[in-house]
């Protein structure tokens, strides 16, 4: 009985431990010039930071296509390093 209570206690305490997890959500960026025309082959850089530390965690650069779009999908940032 004591073992069961101890296991439940450990599970409840471990659920309170903060875990840093950074997720890069889906993003669709359109790069245009001052006239509104799409800019192809522009480099768009997405930077993930860690709060509260303020340090840079990862950086990902994407080139735009012929329509000026740079698209990312939902992914774990650690996969992009």
- Of 52, 53, 60, residue with least CA distance to 77: 60
What is the pTM (predicted TM-score) of this model? 0.53
pLDDT value of position 43: 92
pLDDT level of residue 54 (50, 70, 90 thresholds): low
Length of the chain: 81
Place of tokens 């993003």: 27
In percent, the amount of the chain with pLDDT more than 70 equals 63
Give the mean model confidence (pLDDT) for residues 7-14. Answer: 75
Residue-wise pLDDT tens digits, 18-43: 655 556 667 788 999 999 999 999 99
- Binned at pLDDT 50, 70 and 90, residue 12 comes out as confident
DSSP E strands: which ranges in the chain?
A: 23-24, 27-30, 43-49, 56-63, 69-72, 75-76
């Amino acid at each position: 009985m004591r073992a069961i209570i101890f296991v439940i206690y450990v599970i409840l305490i471990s659920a309170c431990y903060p875990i840093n997890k950074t997720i890069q959500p889906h993003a669709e960026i359109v790069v245009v010039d001052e006239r509104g025309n799409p800019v192809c082959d522009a480099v768009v850089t997405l930077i993930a930071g860690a709060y509260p530390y303020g340090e840079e965690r990862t950086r990902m650069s994407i080139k735009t296509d012929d329509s000026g779009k740079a698209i990312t999908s939902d992914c774990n940032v650690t996969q992009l390093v």
